[in-house]
Chain A
Amino acid sequence: QRKTLEEVKISVNLTEKSLSQFFRLVESKTDFRFTYSNRSVDLSQKISIAATDETLYEVLATVSKQTNANFVQVNNNIHVNRILANQLYDGEGVLAFSNIQLTGVVVDTKGQPIPGATIFIEGTSTGTASDIDGRFSLQTQEGAVLIISFIGYQSQRIVVSNQSTLTITLVEDQSSLDEVVVVGYGTQRKADITGSVSSVSESVIQSRPVANFEDALQGRASGVQVRQTGGNLDGRFSINIRGVGSVTGSNDPLIVVDGVPLFSSDFSTINPKDIVSMDILKDASATAIYGARAANGVVIITTKKGKAGKTQFSFSSDIGFEEIFNRFDLMSTEEQRLLFVEAFRNSNRSTSVYDDPTHPTWQVDTDWQELGTRTALRQNYNLGFSGGTDKTQFSGSVAHLDRQGTIINSDLKSWFFRLNINTEINERFSVSSNLTGSHQKQNVQNNDSWGATGYRSLIHNHSYTRPFDENGNLTAINTQAAPYFGANDNPLIDLMLPTRESDVTRVLGNVKFDYKLMDDLTISANLGGDIVHGKGYTYLPVYQIGLFVRPEGQVTVPNRREINWVSDLTANYQKTFQQHDIKMLVGFSAQQFMFDNSTVTGIGTINNSLNQLSNQINFNASGSRVSSGLVSSFFRLNYSNSDKYLATTTVRRDGSSKFGEARRYGVFPSGSIAWRISEEGFLKSSELIDDLKVRTSYGLTGNQEIGDFAFLTRAIATPYVFGNSLVVGNSPQNIGNPDLQWESTRQFDAGVDVSFFEGRIYFSADYYNRTSQDLLIATPVALTAGVSQNPIVNLGSVLNEGIELSLNSRNTVGKIGWSTNFNISFNTNRVLNIGTNSIGESLEIPGELIPLSNQPANLSRAGYPVGAFYMWVFDGVWQLGEESIARQWADAVPGDPKYKDLNGNGIFDVGDKTFVGNPHPRFFGGIDNSFDYKNFSLSVFFDFSGGFQVYNTARNLYGRGVPFVQNLAEVNDFWTPENPSTRVPRPSQGGNTTNLVTMVSDRFLENGDFIRLKNVALTYNLPSYLFSGKTIEALKFSLTGTNLIMFTNYSGLDPEASSRASLLSAGIDYTPYPQARLVSLSAQITF
């Protein structure tokens, strides 16, 4: 029973407090809520009131006298309004109910009317529905709250003020069960899906400026781990879905854009602004339709499609600044000098050149990191348009991205266009086509390697050299300066003088014909293609700067062309008999991929203006060409009984040219069932649970991503010379294996999807168990085999097991809309078996050798994660008094590093190595909180990852106390007899100490756990009434910040850096292009 203002008693004691404080106090003590519009009431007005156990009516009357506000009770709300001159005023400011006749229209975000939307008055059963034009009319009171809802759209609350007409815009609801999910060769209602699929919506993809779609995907979908693996401004990311199953083959998921499965990995050439959804197929049931390429999951990208209606344009622009958010902490020149002295003394060398601190050399302290980086401008312009008639719709865009690099002399410019058209030729026949093109031009820096290139060159080189001479020209140390050895390049020379361009041009598109043969049967033909042309140009100029001389210029021009075409023919049959729904798909597909590349290097020019190939005198060229193909047939059956019991079965047969004749074909079946418990009688009327579905699947998928012609013993060019004439040479490159076949993955999945409270809370959980077997493993072969490539065999298995959770909840709290999206995934990766050698011992595959020490940091062994970290365990520093054990152990002396003698034999040997870490995160995920308040919306997105380690090679090189490279500041705490309680070994330059400090050990292995404020976006939509009757329909501004804060103990630039694509060398940080903090302002106008 609702109480009136007279029935509620309250005590209030306020002196000179604002009206809004008064409202909050009353709201906290009663069930009433105040409703008002900011424009009509000044909330900062001060009031004073002292009331003890008085009725609320009396309290409000007192307040009304002190302000220009009056109050009306509307159900449980108290509506606040300004007292108007012509208004009936009862002298006490608390008005009686007044009825108003309200008319309105309900439209979607594109302005199209929504018929059938329901409009209810909150707290009553009074309501109506919108008509075919979206219009409605309703008698209500001022201050009432209207709830407008329509299936597939987010409900809206509107407070009735004194207006009599309303335009209500409904926003599409992302978490609705009626959402359509793109699966392979078709779409399905989310409610009907029996497999495990994550979807990322347009609003999430477009929530911040991103480099490419992988970037937008990061942290957004459970089970999907995205991380940077090096690269340049175009970003090189790796996507791992449900862990990594293949040891030496590819772990990249299959990417399908508008029905075209891609081969190329130049994903930065797909404009992320064009993407309307990304659907990630994860379990075998969902992926098996892609058979031989589905073992690593499938990402389906859909670009924007047109809608009938008025042609609408949308122009958006964002402009922002990027800066490197982390840098290395290095020694000062004086600290470095002291390091030289100590190191040379310890290595029995003359220190005389370093002894005099007043020598001019030591007066220079250059901050290369400062000079080599900058705050970079990023601009993005995008013009989109869409529209059409009942029969034909179109959508398109043109866009330009101009991004400066945070490292000097690097930048990226991209141009994009897209045009998607659908036409219904007649009732039975329709055609759709998608076409996108892009051109990307990039100036790159050589990053991501051990030594002094790219960002690493700014750490590597000593601070005691000057960058510029007195005329501002680049300078370098000359032969007279001492000491002139060591890493004393001017790194700016290599960053600034050479030209390193990398261009990619891409055309990607398809045409699809749908023909309705019968009402239940549709035949579709899809023809698609993807053409990528990559071209580079590197010019290393002639210069003489001090000792640094390049007497001849060098031009390198690489060219690469990738052509990928696909043609599919599918038949879709759909039939309902009583409670049985059947959907059937049969299809055939052929796909071919052709790749050719060539590189020409010319050398010899002595004039920097003559910087083209034709100006050179000596040339070196290489090139190759390869093609591979896939011929497939597939079948899928979806069955649903009363929307309650659902089943899907899929089978695909693939023939691949990657394998020898005997092993060419593979069959990949899968099946899944689901039970929508919520459709059962006992739950159907539940007010709590709207939808509850349990599902499980099992199936087999394949991975064929190995090199081509691995089944042949191939010849590799090994030229030789007689006199000065080259002769052709050919030598075996590998040991061919005619029995090679697919890798296959068996995956079990069990999941539950629940939706509570009218879809306000949506929760999904999955358990999976994924065994990859017959792994295509390049087994290490004895060097006595004399071939450069390890033979590839089908061997062994890897298990990935994990749990994925995602939770979306929408909490509408008063006027502030708040929603939370959270996902977290746990994955355990374990090598079950990678085969045995000839006498039955388990094989072990080491990772790539870390330079200088020439030791691997990773080792893949059965029972441990793929590429697990395996190395010596650092155990501090040998101390005075331990001379004799140290000498016996490894000829060490006090101050030398000590590694644990794990096998207890008293000496330092390989038996002391052990497993010390895991490069794969045990858990990762993201949490996004969005708030809507009036026309503002705020999104705060964190992503996180934990339970993994990173090998910091920068410390392995610059943290050794070997002074010939610049050292990190942490080395200042080096051991001396006077400073014994430290874990930093004594400095050295050569000899046993240097040898020992260079060892790959867990001294340089760090926890990578991080939580990062990945994105904050504040958006303001200008109120729509401003534009009524104008050309402009909407205008919004956003301020976004990306990578704002990172909480991590990792001491490198980025704990996600994993420089090598090969898993066998996972988690090694060679300092890829540093991720940047971006703050940008964007505007979007729709007209």
Chain B
Amino acid sequence: ILEPSPEGIVSMSELYTTESNIITALNGVYNPLLSLYRQNMLSLTELASDDGWTWRFENQPDLFIVDPTSGPIQQVWASNYEGITRANGVIDNLSMVSDFSSDEMGRLIEGQARFLRAFYYFNLVRFFGGVPIITSAIVTKTDAERPRGSIEEVYTQIRLDLNSAIQLLPVSYGGGVGRERGRPTSLSAKALLSMVLLELEDWSGVVSLSQELYGTGILLANYHNNFNGSQENSLASYFEVQYGGVIAQTTTNKSVSLAPPDFENGLAFILPTDDGLGGEGGGLSSGNGIVQAFEDGDLRKDAIIDNYGLSNFIDPSKPNGSLYFVNKYYNTSDPRGLSTWNFPLIRYAEILLNFAEALNELEYQPTGKAFELLNEIRVNAGLEPQTSTLLSNKSLFREAIRKERRIELAFETKRYFDLNRWGILANVVQVQMDLTNRVFPRQKLIAHPITGKDYHLYPLPAIEFVNNVQLGEQNPGY
């Protein structure tokens, strides 16, 4: 009686001993992506950028009223660390596995775990700055109580993991247990590393990685197919959050939380910014409106935004159909709230734009590769190619790249990070804030220790200072 066999319960230490079981532990490392990219990441990135706003939620990053007790802050922090802890558990216990079917399998598992750990740290460092660096499994409670590392130290760890992952991972997967398509490849690791280097303005590093990646992917002729589940894990992307199945735990509710027919409670949490609203929404509803950012004839527009076709509740004098919503993820084929469409995290298009941006930053070349890359994207979107006549210098080209990134990667959790790394977040958002007589909280900006740019940091969750006295200082301005 006193020794009941734990049914349905297994201790982790038992799981780490066989190949097939440690693969399940590895799958667990991916799992936090599912919840992160349902809503919380969008909340901290798209709402905080000039692309998204919200009408109903009052305590959101839309207004840059984010205090250390904010729910999304805590959840994003916790989910990323969940991924890190799980990756640490896998990496630490690889030596316990006695039955690897091949050396390659061990390498492949380690490579994925390292890739994911780097991915999670990259999220953390961009939101919070220097964070505690934990790279081994948590055995006792105090193992989690580490001081904040510096931003440089976090990037050192990220680069270390990505460089090993590039070595450990295969170029592609053939299928089978542990080798399913959708797991990151060495190309994915290079792509992520190029994003990291872009963030750090290591232009030549970006260029050299991009050269390796160039031609390993494709642009889909139909832009919407990147998001609507029809081309999942295709060559158009290097890494995606894999949604699927039929339950809330493994699918996404983005379709419901962003789209109109499911809009019964007015709780759509991200609407596209629209200059036409004249600042009447109360949130940062206009200024730099993304609705106005589209060029005529852009094939991507209908995929990215669509109108409600309803009366305009913000301004009743406007005609029906004058309110827009984010259409990218609006899914009517799956049961409501249970969309199986993957969410792309690193697309080939982004690599091309990174490449172009880095080339231009290194040196403006009127007919160089940078134009070629930019125009690959534009032509695919049905737009006229840019020429050196129109973009006659580095700075004009930079503006064009920024605008192209905004449209191409709209609502893919990129815009906030871009504005921040360019050091222009405060200025861009201030244009919106002017409409509601607010001031951007510049006290929350730091000088980025690597790029020197003005850089906005979110607060660390207040609860962490209570539970981890080693943690150190809160970010400035909170």
A residues touching B (Cβ–Cβ < 8 Å)? 344, 347-350, 352-353, 479-480, 482-487, 489, 547-549, 551-552, 590-592, 601, 603-604, 618-620, 623-631, 655-657, 664, 708-709, 712-715, 718-732, 735-736, 779-788, 791, 793, 837-839, 841, 844, 846, 849, 852-855, 910, 962, 964, 989-992, 994-995, 998
25 contacts between A and B (CB under 8 A): A352-B317, A353-B316, A480-B311, A487-B265, A551-B336, A618-B335, A618-B338, A625-B7, A625-B8, A627-B4, A657-B2, A712-B9, A714-B11, A718-B27, A721-B34, A726-B244, A731-B86, A735-B141, A783-B463, A784-B144, A854-B71, A962-B58, A990-B282, A990-B283, A991-B282
Given A735-B140, A782-B145, A715-B86 contact (CB < 8 Å): no
- Are A991's CB and B58's CB within 8 A? yes
Q: Please give, as numbers and ranges, the residues of chain B lying within 8 Å of A349 by CB-CB distance.
A: 280-282, 314
Stretch of B155-163, B175-183, B217-225 at the chain-chain interface: B175-183
Judge whether B30 is part of the interface by a CB distance below 8 angstroms: yes
Q: Please give, as numbers and ranges, the residues of chain A lying within 8 Å of B85 by CB-CB distance.
A: 732, 784-787
Interchain CA distance A780-B467 in the complex, whole Å:
6
Of A352, A787, A837, A964, the residue contacting B316 (CB under 8 A) is: A352
- Are B86's CB and A484's CB within 8 A? no
Interchain CA distance A623-B8 in the complex, whole Å:
9
- A891 CB → nearest B CB, Å: 9
Judge whether B211 is part of the interface by a CB distance below 8 angstroms: no
Judge whether B292 is part of the interface by a CB distance below 8 angstroms: no
- Are A994's CB and B145's CB within 8 A? no
Q: Please give, as numbers and ranges, the residues of chain B lying within 8 Å of A725 by CB-CB distance.
A: 180, 244
Q: Which residue of chain B is the closest to A344 with respect to CB atoms?
A: B282
- Are B2's CB and A855's CB within 8 A? no
- Are A629's CB and B245's CB within 8 A? no
- Are A350's CB and B314's CB within 8 A? yes
Judge whether B151 is part of the interface by a CB distance below 8 angstroms: no
Of B7, B249, B315, B467, the residue contacting A782 (CB under 8 A) is: B467
Judge whether B313 is part of the interface by a CB distance below 8 angstroms: yes
- B127 CB → nearest A CB, Å: 14
Chain B residues 56 to 89 lying within 8 A of chain A, measured CB to CB, are 56, 58-59, 63, 65, 69-71, 74, 77-78, 81-86, 89
Q: Please give, as numbers and ranges, the residues of chain A lying within 8 Å of B7 by CB-CB distance.
A: 624-627
Interchain CA distance A940-B316 in the complex, whole Å:
61
- Bitwise, B434-471 to A at CB < 8 A (1) or not (0) is 00110000000000000000000000011110111111
Inter-chain pairs besides A591-B1, A720-B28, A784-B468, 13 sampled, C-beta below 8 Å: A352-B315, A482-B311, A482-B313, A624-B8, A709-B6, A713-B13, A715-B11, A728-B27, A783-B463, A837-B145, A854-B70, A990-B56, A990-B63
Q: Please give, as numbers and ranges, the residues of chain A lying within 8 Å of B180 by CB-CB distance.
A: 722-723, 725, 727
- Are B31's CB and A552's CB within 8 A? no
Query: Taking each of B139, B145, B261, which has the highest tally of chain A beta carbons within 10 Å of its own beta carbon?
Result: B145
- Are B1's CB and A783's CB within 8 A? no
- Are A628's CB and B4's CB within 8 A? yes
Nearest first, the 4 A-B pairs at minimum CB distance are A786-B85, A629-B1, A731-B28, A722-B180
Interchain CA distance A352-B13 in the complex, whole Å:
64
Q: Please give, as numbers and ranges, the residues of chain A lying within 8 Å of B182 by CB-CB distance.
A: 721-723
Interface size for B (C-beta < 8 A) is 99
Q: Please give, as numbers and ranges, the residues of chain B lying within 8 Å of A731 by CB-CB distance.
A: 25, 28-29, 31, 82, 86, 89
Judge whether B296 is part of the interface by a CB distance below 8 angstroms: no
- A1078 CB → nearest B CB, Å: 36
Q: Please give, as numbers and ranges, the residues of chain B lying within 8 Å of A628 by CB-CB distance.
A: 4
Q: Please give, as numbers and ranges, the residues of chain A lying within 8 Å of B181 by CB-CB distance.
A: 722-723
- Are B335's CB and A552's CB within 8 A? yes
Of A629, A708, A732, A791, the residue contacting B2 (CB under 8 A) is: A629
Query: Taking each of A601, A627, A631, A720, which has the highest tally of chain B beta carbons within 10 Å of its own beta carbon?
Result: A720
- B210 CB → nearest A CB, Å: 27
Q: Please give, as numbers and ranges, the residues of chain B lying within 8 Å of A783 by CB-CB distance.
A: 74, 77-78, 81, 461, 463-464, 467
Of B1, B21, B29, B59, the residue contacting A998 (CB under 8 A) is: B59
Q: Please give, as numbers and ranges, the residues of chain B lying within 8 Å of A592 by CB-CB distance.
A: 1
Query: Taking each of A347, A489, A630, which has the highest tally of chain B beta carbons within 10 Å of its own beta carbon?
Result: A347
Of B1, B24, B245, B338, the residue contacting A728 (CB under 8 A) is: B24
Of A353, A486, A989, the residue contacting B282 (CB under 8 A) is: A989
Chain B residues 325 to 382 lying within 8 A of chain A, measured CB to CB, are 335-336, 338, 340
- Are A730's CB and B315's CB within 8 A? no
Q: Please give, as numbers and ranges, the residues of chain B lying within 8 Å of A604 by CB-CB distance.
A: 335
Judge whether B108 is part of the interface by a CB distance below 8 angstroms: no
- Are A786's CB and B138's CB within 8 A? yes
Of B10, B31, B70, B280, the residue contacting A350 (CB under 8 A) is: B280
Q: Which residue of chain A is the closest to B229 with respect to CB atoms?
A: A724
Judge whether B310 is part of the interface by a CB distance below 8 angstroms: yes
Interchain CA distance A221-B112 in the complex, whole Å:
62
- B55 CB → nearest A CB, Å: 8
Chain B residues 180 to 224 lying within 8 A of chain A, measured CB to CB, are 180-183
Interchain CA distance A712-B183 in the complex, whole Å:
30
- B41 CB → nearest A CB, Å: 16
Judge whether B396 is part of the interface by a CB distance below 8 angstroms: no
Q: Please give, as numbers and ranges, the residues of chain B lying within 8 Å of A489 by CB-CB distance.
A: 264-265
- Are A620's CB and B247's CB within 8 A? yes
- Are A726's CB and B81's CB within 8 A? no
- A957 CB → nearest B CB, Å: 12
Judge whether B233 is part of the interface by a CB distance below 8 angstroms: yes
Chain B residues 6 to 46 lying within 8 A of chain A, measured CB to CB, are 6-13, 15, 21, 24-25, 27-31, 34
Given A480-B311, A723-B182, A786-B84, A709-B65 contact (CB < 8 Å): no
Interchain CA distance A949-B265 in the complex, whole Å:
33
- A380 CB → nearest B CB, Å: 40
Interchain CA distance A620-B317 in the complex, whole Å:
46
- B290 CB → nearest A CB, Å: 21
- B64 CB → nearest A CB, Å: 11
- Bitwise, B235-267 to A at CB < 8 A (1) or not (0) is 000000011111111100000000001001110
Judge whether B132 is part of the interface by a CB distance below 8 angstroms: yes
Of A353, A784, A852, the residue contacting B146 (CB under 8 A) is: A784
Interchain CA distance A618-B250 in the complex, whole Å:
13
Given A349-B282, A784-B132, A786-B138, A721-B242 contact (CB < 8 Å): yes
Interchain CA distance A989-B8 in the complex, whole Å:
48
- Are A852's CB and B59's CB within 8 A? yes
Given A723-B242, A723-B244, A728-B24, A485-B8 contact (CB < 8 Å): no
- Are B141's CB and A781's CB within 8 A? yes
Q: Which residue of chain B is the closest to A591 with respect to CB atoms?
A: B1
Q: Please give, as numbers and ranges, the residues of chain A lying within 8 Å of B74 by CB-CB distance.
A: 783, 854
Q: Please give, as numbers and ranges, the residues of chain B lying within 8 Å of A855 by CB-CB distance.
A: 69
- Are B10's CB and A839's CB within 8 A? no
Q: Please give, as numbers and ranges, the residues of chain A lying within 8 Å of B464 by CB-CB distance.
A: 782-784
Q: Please give, as numbers and ranges, the residues of chain B lying within 8 Å of A849 by CB-CB distance.
A: 71
Of B1, B34, B317, the residue contacting A720 (CB under 8 A) is: B34
Q: Please give, as numbers and ranges, the residues of chain A lying within 8 Å of B473 by CB-CB distance.
A: none
Interchain CA distance A489-B311 in the complex, whole Å:
19
Of B146, B437, B471, the residue contacting A348 (CB under 8 A) is: B437
Interchain CA distance A715-B26 in the complex, whole Å:
12
Judge whether B143 is part of the interface by a CB distance below 8 angstroms: yes
Judge whether B134 is part of the interface by a CB distance below 8 angstroms: yes
- A678 CB → nearest B CB, Å: 47
Query: Taking each of B58, B59, B470, which has the highest tally of chain A beta carbons within 10 Å of its own beta carbon?
Result: B58
- Are A838's CB and B145's CB within 8 A? yes
Judge whether B103 is part of the interface by a CB distance below 8 angstroms: no
Q: Please give, as numbers and ranges, the residues of chain A lying within 8 Å of B144 by CB-CB distance.
A: 781-782, 784-786
- Are B24's CB and A964's CB within 8 A? no
Q: Please give, as numbers and ranges, the residues of chain A lying within 8 Å of B55 by CB-CB distance.
A: 485, 990
Judge whether B142 is part of the interface by a CB distance below 8 angstroms: yes
Judge whether B232 is part of the interface by a CB distance below 8 angstroms: yes
Judge whether B3 is part of the interface by a CB distance below 8 angstroms: yes
Given A349-B281, A782-B145, A782-B467, A709-B246 contact (CB < 8 Å): no
- Are B232's CB and A723's CB within 8 A? yes
- B198 CB → nearest A CB, Å: 27
